[in-house]
Amino acid sequence: MNRRYFLRSAGATLSLPALHSLLPSALGSGMALGAETTAAVESPRRLVAIGNLLGFQTPHLFPETAGPDYQTTRLLEPLSGIRQDMTLYRGLDHDIKGGHFAVHSYLSGVLQMDAKGLPDGNISLDQLAAESMGGATRFPSLTIGSESGIHGGCMMSWTRSGTRVPPIPGPRQLFEKLFVKEDSNNLAKAKDRHALQGSILDAMLADTQTLRKRIDHEDKAKLDEYLTSVREVEQQLQLSEQWVDIEKPTAPINRPANRNMVEDLPLLYDLIILALQTDSTRIATLEIGGDFLPTHLGIDGGYHGLSHHGKRPEVIEKLVQLETYQLQHFGRFVEKMGQTTGAYGANLLDQTAILFGSGMGDANIHSNRDLPIILAGGGYSHGEYKNLTTDDGQRQRLCNLYVKLLQDFGLERDSFGSSDGILI
């Protein structure tokens, strides 16, 4: 069980997780394994990534001195309870420009417009990890965020073909995805839908192979991009089909109602914990977007407008209050992860690498440099502030940290996105 298994076909390699077939009826319904079986199973790795669209007020976040004895700044105060479970980084970015649009490269390190011709395109960290999951969980990944706000909704997760992964827009929809069971009529319709969509894809692929013989080199490149998108859909259909007959876990809470991103934030974090605890997924992302409205905290002004503060102290004060609220609930999330046991009997925090940060360094001047990054959990050694900026002002690539996270997740990679090494 501790060996790593692979499937190889047509030049592709798929890393397999722990083989559940050796443990009949162990999972599938979200049921925890008994003590007599947990020792035989290697607890799976998990990954959670949280992103903020408009960054943080870094003068109120970064301490003056690095190391384990760093000062507690105003924005770090809400994280005092998890200080030994997290590492704060400074001096990391993707070395790209683009203002608000470049924020969408937070988990990929590559702008969508620059992804053409790259081996992995602008696939994001979470989606690359999800590719390795196969059918081990009902949902290879969960992408959570709003479909409204500045720039038309969350754009943190990207497929290999450069397609945005639409987010689950609220706690009600996330709850229903995780726990609401299909009735017999809907179940039959779901099976029919899978069969119909599968046959359509087969026909489309046959047609495109015929077409490929009749088009020029440039159009073949476009067709290849299209086929990649088709394959992604096909894989999603195949993986979801095998879960149609498997019951979802029983909901431990009542169905929630959507309110607004500010009030819903703690509930979204709780639902992510439940998704991990029931092994419904092992990968989740949450984007705090432009519709995180300060008015719901009693603060005047719009989030985007406040982010362009022009160095006015009274505006910065409002932003710090808003960001403090975000960090309070991030700290609460990490604490609860440390108090929760997962489906394999392991502490969730120890088995989950939690990334928190933003693709925006300074929204006031549209800078994507020197990003605020926190890494928590994952079994790593924490309790330190690491300033990686060199004496001459050079920074490291954030993707170097992502390479390390992917390797520890079980992927055999030595590069990702814009990486030029590995951050250990």
- Three-state DSSP at 45 gives coil
E strand or H helix that includes residue 321: helix 313-338
pLDDT of 119 reads 86
Determine if residue 125 is left, alpha or beta; phi over 0 gives left, psi from -120 to 50 gives alpha, anything else beta: alpha
User: Which of these ranges, 18-27, 334-343, 381-390, 397-406, has the smallest mean pLDDT?
Assistant: 18-27
CA angle, 144 as apex, 136 and 98 as ends, to 5°? 115
Strands 6-9 and 283-288: unpaired
Identify residue 116 by its one-letter amino acid code.
K
Closest CA to 290 of 256, 321, 325, 262: 262
Please give the Cα distance from 27 to 18 (Å, whole number).
Answer: 12
Radius of gyration of the chain from its Cα atoms, rounded to whole angstroms = 22
pLDDT band at 1 (very low <50, low <70, confident <90, very high): very low
Average pLDDT over residues 19-32: 37
Give the residue, 181 or 411, on which the prediction is more confident: 411
Average pLDDT score, the chain: 83
Report H helices in 75-183: 125-131, 171-179
CA distance 213 to 157: 34
**Strand bridging mode 352-358 / 283-288:** unpaired
Contacting residues for 365 by C-beta, under 8 A, at least 6 apart: none
Residue with tokens 């088009």: 215
DSSP H helices, 300-412, are: 303-307, 313-338, 348-351, 398-409
pTM (global) more than 0.85: no
Q: Which residue has the tokens 């949280």?
A: 50
The lowest-confidence range among 56-60, 233-237, 273-277 is 233-237
pLDDT at residue 388 tops 90: yes
Position 174 pLDDT exceeds 60: yes
Helices 217-241 + 184-212 axis angle, to 10: 160
The string of pLDDT tens digits covering residues 33-89 is: 333 333 335 689 999 999 999 999 999 999 999 999 999 999 999 999 999 999 999
Residue 245 has pLDDT above 90, yes or no: no
Mean pLDDT for the stretch of residues 416-422? 94
Residue 28 has pLDDT above 50, yes or no: no
Kindly tell me if the per-residue pLDDT of 31 is higher than 60.
no
Q: Give the distance, in angstroms, between the CA of residue 294 and the centroid of all CA atoms in the same chain.
A: 24
Residue predicted with more confidence, 312 or 39? 312
The two counts, helices (H) then strands (E), for the chain are 10, 11
Burial of 160 (0-12, 13-18, 19+ CB in 10 A): buried
pLDDT at 147: 78
pLDDT digits (tens, 9 = 90+) for 331-375: 999 999 999 998 778 899 999 999 999 999 999 998 999 999 999
State the pLDDT at residue 36: 33
**Nearest one of 418, 421, 325, 422 to 123, comparing CA atoms:** 418
Q: Per-residue pLDDT averaged across 215-226, rounded?
A: 74
> Tokens at residue 19, please?
């083989």
Residues 6+ apart with CB under 8 A from 20: 26, 27, 28, 136
pLDDT, residue 318, reads 96
285 vs 160: which has the higher pLDDT: 285
Confidence of residue 239 (pLDDT cuts 50, 70, 90): low
- Compute the Cα dihedral for 253, 264, 367, 77 and give only its sign: negative
pLDDT exceeds cutoff 90 at 382: yes
